[in-house]
Amino acid sequence: MFREQMINFLQTTVVFLLLTNAASVVVAAYAVRIAKALASGHAAPRNATERRIDPAPARRQLNHLSVVIVRASGRSSNHRPLQ
**CA–CA–CA angle 70, 71, 72 (5° rounding):** 90
d(CA 7, CA 17): 15
- Of 54, 59, 52, 53, which Cα lies nearest the Cα of 44? 54
**Confidence check: pLDDT of 41 > 90:** no
Given this model, what pLDDT does residue 72 score? 55
> Looking at per-residue confidence, does 58 or 8 come out higher?
8
> Looking at per-residue confidence, does 68 or 19 come out higher?
19
> Looking at per-residue confidence, does 64 or 30 come out higher?
30
Calculate what percentage of the chain has a pLDDT beyond 90.
37
**Across all residues in the chain, what is the average pLDDT?**
75
